Chain A
Amino acid sequence: MDHAVETTLTVNGTRITRRIAPRVHLVDFLRDELGLTGSHIGCEHGVCGACTVRVNGDIVRGCLMLAVQADGCTVETIEGLSDSKELAPLQQAFHEHNALQCGFCTPGMLMAAQDLVRSGTKPTRDEIRAHISGNYCRCTGYQAIVDAIEATINGKG
């Protein structure tokens, strides 16, 4: 009845094989099956960005991808990119600028921000705002987040 499909994927460097019901989206799989609860659920209709994870190097909405679609894919989450220290500069800037309050949006926000950091461009503040415009934060009002990303990219303190 649950039509489970055997799926093999690499999550934060570890190869994982599971039988997964197709209706389970990637974030529920990461959270419920793998215990990686850093990726959050804020809407499940693609609007808030709290679920942002990286698949094969690109950021995606984890709630808008079925876990079975990740078969053969490399998935990276906030936990993985924290351990690898890839996010360390952004995390430090977020900390110093108080770019998080409740922290619920933060993992998704960091994934989106790191996408911009990795692009190697020198974005303006407006471009930073545009890049994170799909990530909702109710707490901060965004300015501190923009400041933190700007500081990370442009070395501005």
Chain B
Amino acid sequence: MKAPSFAYAKAKSLAEAFELIERPGARILAGGQSLIPSLNMRLASPELLIDITGLKDLQGIDRRPGGLRIGALVTHAQLQRSDAVDQHAPLLLQAAAHIAHPAIRNRGTMGGSLALADPAAEYPACALALNATIVLVHRRGERRVPAAKFFKGLFETDIRPGEILAAAEFPKVERSVFLELARRHGDYAIVGLAGVADASGRRIAYLGVGATPVFAEQASRAVSLNAALELLGRDLQPQADLYNSSATKLHLAKVLLSRAWTTLSKPH
């Protein structure tokens, strides 16, 4: 199927992007790896696409005190090649390998993935586990939103009209584990687990179990695997998908928890 008609503008500056975004029916185009398929299926019909891929402000991976700032336009492939990510947020590196396939990773962006907030996507769950801060910019200034408040519903985030996702900031966490169960290489997973641990404790988030990525709060705090498995049933009320019932998803989430537990429970 062919996309419906729309206009296109490539923003040359953030200021221009802010102006364009006010136009009726305007929509941001980043890597296009989620937006263009939906256009090609005529599931979306924007009037104007604002291509932000030329904006320098949204690019680059920078080391910051205590963490990492990843620009919205950093592609999955760039992230995979980054030493800084390897050192400061290895979880993201582990997760990126599960996203689609090389040709898609060459264009798909971190910002696009977070902004889309697909509950089965890898980065949103990682952002939750890592307690990332999402940086949103607007004509009138910047807003910093913790990941826990950013994902609000199915494909729904805290991005307000006129805002652009500029970057995500990730605190440094070395011990992490990312696991997922996907039927085929590169598919969106049935269920995935993003877990980190440091002196302050464990943080385990799930993908593929609800309308948003879900932080398994009680399981994260559990003292033993058995307790965690028990508590996970309270953290998660997975929604069924085409191939898996809610019970299956919960079961698989537990399987992943068992597999991740040792890594996340070593003493510091």
Interface of A toward B, CB cutoff 8 Å: 1-3, 5, 21-23, 25, 28, 44-46, 49, 52, 58-61, 63-66, 68-69, 71, 112, 115, 129-131, 133-135
Contact = CB atoms under 8 A, between A and B. Distances in A.
Given A3-B5, A65-B36, A130-B185, A45 B106 contact: no
The dominant DSSP class at the B interface is loop
Interface string B1-21: 111111110100000000000
Contacts of A130: 185
A64 B7 contact: no
22 contacts: A3-B5, A3-B7, A5-B8, A23-B3, A23-B4, A23-B5, A28-B2, A44-B2, A44-B37, A45-B37, A46-B100, A58-B106, A59-B102, A60-B103, A60-B106, A69-B51, A71-B10, A112-B103, A115-B103, A130-B185, A133-B186, A134-B104
B68 interface: no
A28 B106 CA distance: 20
B82 interface: no
Q: Which 7 A-B pairs have the closest CB atoms?
A: A134-B101, A22-B8, A133-B185, A3-B7, A45-B37, A23-B3, A58-B106
A58 B77 contact: yes
B5 A45 contact: no
Contact of A22 (B7, B37, B102): B7
B106 A25 contact: no
A25 B3 contact: yes
B140 interface: no
Given A58-B77, A112-B103, A64 B5 contact: no
Contacts of B106: 58-60
B33 interface: yes
A25 B40 contact: yes
A60 B107 contact: yes
Nearest to B38: A45
